[in-house]
Structures are given as C-alpha cells and as structure tokens.
C-alpha cells in the first residue's frame, strides 16, 4: 500500500477530498496543492491544522504514537518514519525505551535504549 503523504501530484491530478463526520464538513484540497505550496504534504498539513483548531483529526486519519516507558514524554505523528525518528532520538538522549503504537492495527514496536 502506498503512503499518501509520499505521492506527488501530476498534471492531471485530482486533489483529494477530506471529510470530518464530527464537523459535518468536507474539504477539497485543491487550493492547498495549487496555491499554498503544500504539495505532496497537503493532506498531512490539513490534518495537522484541523487537529490544531478542532482538537481532533479528520475522518480516516490514523496516527502513529510513540510513548516513553519511563517518563511522560510522547509524540503523535502521521507518518511511521516520523514516529520512529522521534522514538530513536528520545531513546538515544534519555536511555529510555519507547513504544511505537502503529497507526493501522494493534501492532506495537519497541525502540530500546542504547546502553553505550
């Protein structure tokens, strides 16, 4: 399955539509692609903006959550590599193990602290 955040639009590209049942609204992201320079990150940026302003993500947006096992630090990211990067950085600097809860499914990955 391809990552929607990594695909670039083509000349005949139809901008995606984002819906939110809680807000009872639907948005066409054509402006984000054409005018705002968001490009292939338009869906991700819209989802983050929506959460920032409403407190929740639009429909069908799932996040990757990285949670430290030792302290209250945590991060929520839309892309797996961003959650992994945060977890690895936190583990490296704090020597804490971090659990990454996958966006789709119940799978969890643990990033162990490096004992060096």
Cα 90 → chain centroid = 18
Q: 71 with 55, same domain? A: no
Domain around 89: 64-111
Q: 46 with 69, same domain? A: no
116 located within any domain: no
Q: 55 with 13, same domain? A: yes
At residue 18, the 3 state secondary structure works out as strand
pLDDT at 11: 52
pLDDT at 39: 60
pLDDT at 7: 46
Render 55-115 in DSSP notation, one character per residue: SSPPTT---EEEEESSSS-EEEESSHHHHHHHHHHHHHHH---EEEE-SSSS-EEEEPPP-
Q: 69 with 39, same domain? A: no
pLDDT at 5: 47
Domain boundary among the residues 39, 60, 81 is at 60
- Pick from 1, 5, 99: nearest CA to 47: 5
Q: 7 with 33, same domain? A: yes
Mean pLDDT per 10-residue interval, the chain, length 116 residues: 46 79 93 68 85 93 93 92 95 96 90 80
Q: 1 with 29, same domain? A: yes
pLDDT at 36: 62
Q: 11 with 49, same domain? A: yes
Measured CA to CA, the distance from residue 75 to residue 86 in angstroms comes to: 7
Q: 51 with 80, same domain? A: no
């Amino acid at each position: 399955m391809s990552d929607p955040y990594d695909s670039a639009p083509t000349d005949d590209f139809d901008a995606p539509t984002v819906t939110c049942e809680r807000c009872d609204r639907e948005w066409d992201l054509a402006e984000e692609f054409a005018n705002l320079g968001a490009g292939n990150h338009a869906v991700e940026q819209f989802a983050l903006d929506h959460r920032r302003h409403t407190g929740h993500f639009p429909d069908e947006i799932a996040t990757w959550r990285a949670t430290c096992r030792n302290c209250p630090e945590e991060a929520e990211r839309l892309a797996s590599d961003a959650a992994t990067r945060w977890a690895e950085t936190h583990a490296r600097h704090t020597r804490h193990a971090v659990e990454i809860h996958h966006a789709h499914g119940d799978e969890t990955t643990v990033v162990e602290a490096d004992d060096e």
